[in-house]
């Protein structure tokens, strides 16, 4: 009964705090195959698959979206599915709980990543599964990996914020997030700083991408990330901000991701590759 009450009250809190972005009902793009999967906390997660026509496929990329009302469609609207599929990767997108048509029955977004990681592995058991998180999505990818309950062939984080407190800023939402991130509920709600979930497993290829002027992570925190994950695993693009590398350096951005996936998929020494870039 206690866990049920906590889930219900947590769902109410989430819907109240994030009302401006929760519940978007935009139409999908042609060529997407919709599905629904249940998260570990009971939330129904709406997702979509874009299948590569290149055979044999090289792997699968699970996309974890930023904190925007468009949810997974942020990736699709910006064409990630097209260039990933052209390179031979099936693409899986999903809406975190509360976004789009996904329901809210818990408070930890990391649980959604765990559930979709399992679903993707079960759907393509013979292919390596990579995860690409952007901003808010990358934040919860790191917490999901730290649970030890999901395994990926590699992890890519674009503009991961260091803390939820800085990400949500001031106001009521920021105050609540700051309080949760330093409380005994930080682990259960997935609001702890990213450094509480690092370092990553030593054999997990990783690549972190940032804009040099990203307001959600300091230069000192980027340096700390280099210390924990390897200097060669962190790439900073000058004169651009949060989630801006995609726009400011489109060719270099896509090339970095595709080359990294290629080396991760082929089993080559990914860390040696990164050091040469």
Determine the 3-state secondary structure of 198 from DSSP: coil
Task: Flag whether pLDDT at 266 surpasses 90.
Answer: no
In this predicted structure, what is the pLDDT of residue 276?
41
**Does the structure show a pLDDT above 60 at 274?**
no
Q: What is the mean pLDDT of residues 210-223?
A: 97
Burial 57-70 (b: 16+ CB within 10 A, else e): bbbbbbbbbbbbbb
CA distance 146 to 140: 10
pLDDT exceeds cutoff 80 at 163? yes
Please give the average per-residue pLDDT across 104-124, as a whole number.
Answer: 94
Q: How many CB atoms lie within 10 A of CB 105?
A: 20
Q: What is each CA distance from 194 to 70, 206, 261, in whole angstroms?
A: 24, 14, 23
Whether 206 and 263 have beta carbons less than 8 Å apart is answered as: no
Mean pLDDT for 155-161 is: 98
Residue 3: what pLDDT?
45
Indicate the DSSP class of residue 195: G
Structural class in CATH, domain 2-275: alpha beta
Structure tokens at 105: 């029955």
Work out the average pLDDT over 198-206: 95
Q: What is the mean pLDDT of residues 261-273?
A: 67
Of 188, 202, 197, 199, the C-alpha closest to 146 is 197
For residue 54, the model assigns a pLDDT of 94
Over the stretch 7-66, which tens digit does the pLDDT of each residue have?
Answer: 544 566 676 667 767 777 766 677 899 999 999 889 999 999 999 999 999 999 999 999
How far is Cα 102 from Cα 96, in angstroms, rounded to an integer?
7
Residue closest to 192 by CA, chosen among 142, 137, 243: 142
Write down the pLDDT at residue 175.
75
DSSP state of 273: H
- pLDDT surpasses 60 at 226: yes
The pLDDT value given to residue 114: 96
Read off the pLDDT of each residue in 72-77 and give the average, rounded to a whole number: 94
Using pLDDT thresholds of 50, 70 and 90, give the confidence band for residue 5. Answer: very low
What is the average pLDDT value for the chain, to the nearest integer?
88
Query: How far is residue 211 from each of residues 2, 52, 80, 200, 227, measured CA to CA in Å?
Result: 43, 30, 19, 22, 18
Above pLDDT 70, what percent of the chain?
Answer: 87
* Lowest pLDDT segment from 126-130, 201-205, 265-269: 265-269
Give the residue-averaged pLDDT of 80-97. 97
């Amino acid at each position: 009964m206690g866990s049920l009450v906590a889930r219900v009250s947590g769902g109410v809190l989430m819907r109240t705090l994030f009302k401006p972005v929760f519940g978007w009902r935009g139409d999908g793009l042609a060529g997407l195959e919709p599905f629904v999967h249940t998260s570990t906390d009971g939330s129904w997660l709406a997702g979509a698959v874009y299948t590569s026509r290149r055979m044999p496929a090289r792997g699968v990329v699970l996309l974890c979206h930023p904190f925007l009302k468009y949810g997974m469609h942020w990736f699709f609207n910006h064409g990630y599915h097209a260039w990933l599929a052209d390179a031979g990767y099936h693409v899986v997108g999903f809406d975190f709980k509360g976004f789009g048509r996904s329901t809210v029955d818990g408070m930890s977004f990391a649980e959604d990543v765990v559930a979709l990681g399992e679903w993707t592995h079960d759907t393509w058991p013979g292919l390596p599964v990579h995860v690409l998180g952007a901003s808010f999505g990358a934040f919860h990818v790191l917490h999901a990996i730290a649970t030890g309950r999901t395994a990926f062939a590699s992890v890519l984080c674009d503009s991961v914020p260091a803390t939820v407190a800085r990400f949500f800023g001031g106001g009521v939402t920021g105050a609540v997030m700051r309080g949760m991130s330093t409380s005994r509920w930080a682990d259960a709600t997935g609001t702890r700083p990213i450094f509480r979930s690092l370092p990553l497993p030593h054999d997990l290829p990783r690549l972190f991408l940032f804009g040099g002027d990203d307001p959600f992570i300091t230069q000192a925190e980027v340096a700390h990330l280099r210390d924990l994950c390897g200097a060669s695993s962190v790439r900073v693009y000058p004169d651009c901000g949060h989630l801006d590398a995609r726009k400011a350096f489109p060719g270099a951005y896509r090339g970095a991701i595709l080359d990294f996936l290629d080396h991760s998929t082929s089993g080559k020494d990914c860390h040696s590759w990164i050091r040469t870039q």
